[in-house]
Chain A
Amino acid sequence: MERGWLYDGATAVRHEIEVAAEGEAVLIRYADGGTSKVPRARLFHVDTRGEWEVYGHIEVDGWRLGVPGAAAAGLGPLLPPRRRYGGWIDRIGLARALVAAVAVSALVIFLATRFPGWVAPYVPRSWEENVGGPVMASLDGRYCHGPGGDAALRKLASAIAPGAGDLDIRVVDIGIVNAAALPGGHILIFEPLLTEAAGPDEVAGVLAHEIAHVERRHVTAAMVRQLSFGLFVTLVGGGTGANLETFLSARYSRGAEAEADADAIAALERARISPGGAAVFFDRVARRERRLGAIGAGLSYISTHPEPALRARRFLASAGGRNDWKPSLSPEEWQALVDICRNDPARR
């Protein structure tokens, strides 16, 4: 018999006992001579405390049996093994569990990257409108309609995309150099983008990019992604999940931006509008970002857009070697577009 100890789960008294294996059970002899038997199948391993292996009883809350480590080996080859990482990881081993988890996670991330693109085309326009409509409505009173401006914008859009007639493209008087595609086929061009541009080709490049976002339904896909994978991972995955989601969503966004750039280049070439204008635009953005220095390079991993210098080079490369470009707007049309806010009688 081996010396051991027992907490019976009824009180906190520690009983000094002796244990021995008896068939398929563990025999316990108390100090007062009494004995009890516990079938091995009722025991589970709790912990290793110093020299003691500690076992619990699956039916008795708090029942703990301490057996010297050496004796435990002799006592119970049938005693359950130690729990370490949790259920199935212990069963298949840590290395295999890691490989399996990486494989499953990679598959989940792959699906999360592809699935939104598959679903987005089936999202009805009216649903998109529920999201984009209120945003557009909230900017009421800041839209510009100077004479000839909207017509110039429509001409530019239909040159880039013949089917752009049902798009809602508007210039808004907000002081940032930017443009945005909203769900529901809305495109916003912020006024400073026009006033800073050297010519219509720059605006054509940006517009082609935003039209590509609308046609590929990128914004809808991003929302599908956010509400499925994004929500799941940030909620269930906690801090690690949230960090991962920041990284993956930025990567996803950069992918969509690159796709929109490629579409834009193709559309501009079809319309015989020089992509050189867009290159000039991104070059200016790049110069502005260069002031950030090394931080800017580091940020490119969590940035939602590809590096502007790279985008400028891409547009420039596609512009090279050809010189049969057509002016996208006449000088008068261009001036009307640039002055769309300044000349708007309602905005004085």
Chain B
Amino acid sequence: MDATTTRPAEGAQDRGRAFAFTGTWQEFLPIALTNLLLTIVTLGIYRFWAKARERQYFWSRTRLVDDHLEWTGTGKEMFLGFLMVFAALIPIVLLLVFAARLVTEGNDLGKAVGIALFLLIYCGFFYMAGVAALRALRYRLSRTYWHGIRGGSDDGGWGYGVQYMWRTWLTALAFFVPLPWAQTRLWNARFNKMSFGQHRFHADATAEGLFKRWLLLYAVIGVFVAVFVLIALAMPKAGAQPDMNDIMNFGMGMVIAVLVLYIGLPIAALAYYAAYYRRVAGATSIAGLRFRFTAGTADWLLLFLGHIGLVIATLGFGLLFISYRNYSFAVRHLDLEGEIDVAALAQSSTRAPTDAEGLADAFDIGAI
């Protein structure tokens, strides 16, 4: 008799989580090493195939309820996708060179046209970065299979690019204070265009409550500035001979200021992103199943301290395992609540994209 529904409690052994990572570093090591070797001897071109092999391993060691995921993307398609985008960017770069010459050598009209061209191309790049983010996510879902079913999207990201552009600019104009608002809305906009099987993702994350964490960063900068002002006030008046005490105080003050900035700022950023990912994952669902992401600030901190410790202890070779640790961290903290009705999960009708992650690669941005 065929199973038509699967429940996390039935399939998953560890603490009843829907997702589990079953890879081991011993299995991944030969993959990472041969990837590195092949990438070096091919002047870096193998990196597309290396990425495909890496993902294929990660996905195949990610169990969702009763079966593992499968990555079907290939190095060849990522390479071709990159070349496609690269070819499309050449005329734009030539236009940029032309604009530069207009500005440096043209008359007043030429200069004005040159500057207008610059602005236009700058906006264009900004727009394309947004388009690229959506297309990269679409590509990843379209190559991700579970129970023979894949995800995808029929949206080309053209509308998303516009939204990305104005929300980011508005945020920058307001000194980045509304960043949580922009990020959650953009997350919703991306995921509401995505589907798995015939089901649409649904995301309705709000920034409520996230602002407190985000403003922590401003608080850290405020403390830094305050310490600096105190140092300046504590300095002896001009002309007076500074004594040993003044110098000690000055040194201590500087140390505190730098500690506040270099330790406080990353931790505040982690605290924000921990809350952000919990929020957006928790607000994302598909076919009545709700995602959950459970990593707290301390978990993130341990992840990054672990990265640093590993790289130092292995004299740099640990760099090979950064992607492994990041991926397994994400899977270990991801959960899906509800019952999957496999009989009602039918194949995706979305078109499988052929541009892969070319655009995202060209702009050097991530997908999530």
Contact = CB atoms under 8 A, between A and B. Distances in A.
Nearest to A30: B2
B267 to A, nearest CB: 27
A62 B41 contact: no
B342 A11 contact: yes
Interface residues on A, range: 35 or more
B346 interface: yes
B76 A237 contact: no
Interface in B22-66: 34, 37-47, 49, 52-53, 56, 60, 66
A53 to B, nearest CB: 13
Contacts of B52: 86
B38 A101 contact: yes
B-side interface mostly: mixed
Interface in A219-240: 233, 235-240
Contact of A86 (B41, B53, B148, B197): B53
A62 B3 CA distance: 18
Contact of B76 (A7, A84, A87, A101): A87
A54 B60 CA distance: 11
Contacts of B149: 7, 9, 11-12, 62
Contacts, number: 120
B43 A241 contact: yes
Nearest to A236: B45
Interface in A27-46: 31, 46
A16 B340 CA distance: 18
A84 B105 CA distance: 54
Interface stretch (B67-75, B208-216, B307-315): B67-75
Given A7-B147, A105-B41, A240-B47, A14 B67 contact: yes
B44 A31 contact: no
A61 interface: yes
Given A236-B82, A244-B43, A134 B105 contact: yes
Interface in B69-103: 70, 72, 74-76, 82, 86
Interface in B315-348: 340, 342-347
19 contacts: A9-B347, A10-B346, A11-B346, A12-B148, A12-B342, A13-B3, A13-B147, A13-B343, A47-B56, A62-B149, A84-B53, A86-B74, A86-B75, A86-B76, A109-B43, A134-B104, A239-B47, A241-B44, A244-B43
Interface of B: 1-4, 34, 37-47, 49, 52-53, 56, 60, 66-68, 70, 72, 74-76, 82, 86, 104-105, 145-150, 197, 340, 342-347, 352
Given A46-B70, A61-B150, A62-B145, 7 more contacts: A11-B346, A14-B3, A62-B149, A64-B148, A134-B104, A236-B44, A236-B86
